[in-house]
Structure 1
Amino acid sequence: MTASGPGNSGEVPTVLVKDSSGRDLLCFLEQLIPLDGSDYALLTPVDTPVCLFRLKDGSDPELIDAISDSEPILSVADVVLQEHDLTLVRSAVTLTVSGELDEPEPEDLEDDDGEEDDAETYELLVSFLVEEQEYGLYIPLDPFFVVARMDEAGAVLVEGADFDRIQPRIEAELEERELPE
């Protein structure tokens, strides 16, 4: 486990999470939740998470859930991001982008009535063509959380059935913590 202790610097601790494929993702430790004799961590990625979408004229972008690390689409995305001094990282859980990103302006996230548009949960970072098909890397506007189980070796990503079993219990614990005493 990598941790930059809270000490006097006021820094948020970081944790290196591993998934079942051996990939890792550096995250900030947001919450530590003890359940069933184990400590579970609620984490947010240090780098910016991104999602890959297939773009089609006249229809909504289509999320690409599973993609091989050697997929040619990712090689093209690498080149396009390098033009913006950004780097695509094939991390555990999600693709991430490292580098200096411009923060979206709050008014860009509002519609004409001055209200936030619930349908817009992603912001386009870059788009590009691969074999005459357009793709886009989008940044999720909602917080992106990762759940990991802490052990002596560090943090292990909670995946699949384990995640489905533990997620509602973590959410219930977090809601209980937020209630005023």
Structure 2
Amino acid sequence: MTPQRDILKIIVLSCSFSIKKLSMSSPSFDSGRELDAQEIVTLTDSTGRSLDCYVENEVASDGVDYVLLQPVDLPIVILAWDDDEEDAEIPETEMVEDPEELAEIFLDAKAVLSERELTLKDTAYVMTISGEIPPLQEEDILSLEIEDDEESRLEPEELQLLTDFYHLEQHYSIYTPIDPYLFFAHTTANDELEMLDLSDPKVKNLVDLLIIQDDE
């Protein structure tokens, strides 16, 4: 039985989602939006995978260019449900982040998404999809209550359900964030993009500036 999806609040046993995805007050984006004139750059991770991103904003500080990026394609996250706890008041789920598990379920996830005319891509930093997602329905919204390692509660994140599937009797759900999924990077001396360390106070101030300017 699939857990109740009526803006369900759940406990996620991982905190990295809140690090990689930062909310912005602007509305959610559409993968079919027309931004042909907007600059596109490519992020590359240590494994050689790439991720094309729109440059939403940029600022220079001490001779270094900092950029606010939004993926061209729609990011997705995969949650693994503990079906034994489905009757619990607050069901538990876990965001799938282990590279080996993601690789194991990738083909199954790709197959169920293709049935909805969505193409799953193994991109850098976050998996993405291309194609037109269905209109947002209230019953498809999941509100995540995220706990970090110190058991402090972070601001809930809202996701839109795309589909469910099973792999080796494990129940998985595929979601896309409703708010924009943002990355922050700076240019290196070799004119390459490098992800920012958000724990650095100076970097946090620059990130805040990038978001504020982009909202204006």
TM-score (norm. length: structure 2): 0.64
- 2:13 is matched with none
TM-superposed deviation, 1:39: 0.6
- 2:123 is matched with 91
TM-superposed deviation, 1:12: 1.7
What is the aligned residue count? Answer: 164
Contact 2:81 2:170 in 1 (8 A): yes
- 2:66 is matched with 40
Secondary structure class of the residue paired with 1:173: helix
Gaps spanning 5+ residues in structure 2: where? 1-34, 142-154
> Which runs of 4 or more aligned residues in structure 1 lie more than 3 Å from their structure 2 counterparts after TM superposition?
105-109, 151-155, 174-180
- 1:128 is matched with 165
Matched letter for residue 85 of structure 1: E
Residue number among 39, 52, 57 corresponding to 1:13 in the alignment: 39
Contact 1:89 1:95 in 2 (8 A): yes
Deviates more, 1:10-19 or 1:149-158: 149-158
Whether 1:174 and 2:210 are equivalent positions in the alignment is yes
Task: For 1:109-120, list aligned pairs within 5 A.
Answer: 119=156
Q: Encode CA deviations 1:81-139: one digit per residue, 9 max, x unaligned.
A: 11111111111110101112123157976xxxxxxxx8561111111000001101111
TM-score (norm. length: structure 1): 0.75
Secondary structure class of the residue paired with 2:180: coil
- 2:11 is matched with none
- 1:73 is matched with 105
Q: Partners of 1:69 and 1:154 in 2: how far apart?
A: 34
TM-superposed deviation, 1:141: 1.3
Higher relative contact order (CA 8 A, sep 6+): 2
Q: Partners of 2:212 and 2:79 in 1: how far apart?
A: 36
